[in-house]
């Protein structure tokens, strides 16, 4: 089976059987066109002539050409899927891409606010609000305080109902990814802000906690806009968004406690490896402390 014909049949299979979206099909087509071009340059035109070592070389060639780790992973995944299809069809005796691994994408450390900046920011609706915005400021202070107090995701906060909050016990119940629920503590400052908002909140649709002044539940986008508004109002040095407050919550908690498993539970991460990125942030903090405090951390300046 010629390689171009095998690719065509594979794409037809993805379209008709797998019913992939046009966007995903285009991505497969682009990646497999690259494979065909690389193979043709070395005289490989039949699919059963594909071998592992040339594939590794082509992967390295794409890397040298400037293709990023995520793009390389996607290219290799397309080639591996083609190989698996060809194996089932009897065109190959083994999948030459099965044992190849693409380079891992570098994990980007999440941006966050330090503890002082976070404290100032969540209090900003009470200090930078104009005289006509008192109720909005009370509501937004509760939003910011709860994000930072309990590490909620944006979707978790926007979906909150008053029935999910136990203000007496200082707890909130949220439903996160995979429809999994978790119970979280609410800090004293966030608790006070929520109590202040409840006294002023309008009658809400479906018992929603965070609403417009007419009682309509705030959308994710509206909450993002309010967070951005307070960042501008307070002349924040960087763009602030809800996820930054969640990152700050996790990092500051880990910094103080060192308990990675507890932070995992509070964030609602299914896999602790997702939470482990915060250990890098914690090490950065420790390194700064070491550099500033240890008598032999720096070179001799005499």
Q: Which residues are tagged catalytic?
A: 153, 177, 243, 246, 269, 278
Backbone angles phi, psi at 176, to 5 degrees: -105, -150
Euclidean distance between CA atoms 250 and 247, whole angstroms = 5
CA pair distance 191, 239, nearest whole angstrom:
26
Number of H helices, E strands in the chain: 14, 3
Give the CA angle between residues 228, 113, 279 to the nearest 5°: 130
Of 234, 1, 206, 47, the residue nearest 128 (C-alpha): 234
What are the b/e assignments for 205-220, b being 16+ CB within 10 Å?
eeebbbbbeeeebbee
Q: Of 165, 169, 139, 133, nearest to 152 (Cα)? A: 165
111-262-294-119 Cα dihedral, nearest 10 degrees: 50
Q: Give the three-class secondary structure for 166.
A: strand
Environment class of residue 59 by beta-carbon count within 10 Å: exposed (0-12), middle (13-18) or buried (19+)?
buried
Tokens of 81: 């899927």
Letter string b/e over residues 4-15, b meaning 16 or more CB atoms within 10 A of that residue's CB: eebbebbbebbe
């Amino acid at each position: 089976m010629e390689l171009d014909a095998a690719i065509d049949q594979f794409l037809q299979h993805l379209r008709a059987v797998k019913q992939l979206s046009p966007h995903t099909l285009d991505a497969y087509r682009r990646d497999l066109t690259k494979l065909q071009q690389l193979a043709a340059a070395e005289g490989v035109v039949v699919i059963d002539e594909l071998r592992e070592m040339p594939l590794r070389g082509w992967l390295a060639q794409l890397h040298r050409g400037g293709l990023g780790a995520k793009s390389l992973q996607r290219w290799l995944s397309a080639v591996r899927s083609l190989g698996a299809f060809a194996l089932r069809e009897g065109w190959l005796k083994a999948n030459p891409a099965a044992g190849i691994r693409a380079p891992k994408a570098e994990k980007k450390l999440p941006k966050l606010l330090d503890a002082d900046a976070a404290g100032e920011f969540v209090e900003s609706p009470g200090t930078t609000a104009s005289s006509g915005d008192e109720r909005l400021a009370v509501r937004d202070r509760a939003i910011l305080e709860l994000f930072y107090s309990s590490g909620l995701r944006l979707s978790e906060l926007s979906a909150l109902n008053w029935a999910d909050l136990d203000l007496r016990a200082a707890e909130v119940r949220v439903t996160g990814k995979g429809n999994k629920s978790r119970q979280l503590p609410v800090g004293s400052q966030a608790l006070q802000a929520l109590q202040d908002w409840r006294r002023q909140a309008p009658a809400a649709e479906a018992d929603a906690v965070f609403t417009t002044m007419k009682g309509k539940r705030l959308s994710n986008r509206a909450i993002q806009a309010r967070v951005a508004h307070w960042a501008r109002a307070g002349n924040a040095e960087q763009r602030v968004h809800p996820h930054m407050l969640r990152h700050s919550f996790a990092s500051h908690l880990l910094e103080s406690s060192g308990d990675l498993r507890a932070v995992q539970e509070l964030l609602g991460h299914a896999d602790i490896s997702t939470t482990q990125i915060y250990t890098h942030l914690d090490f950065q903090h420790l390194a700064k402390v070491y550099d500033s405090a240890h008598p032999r951390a720096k070179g001799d300046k005499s």
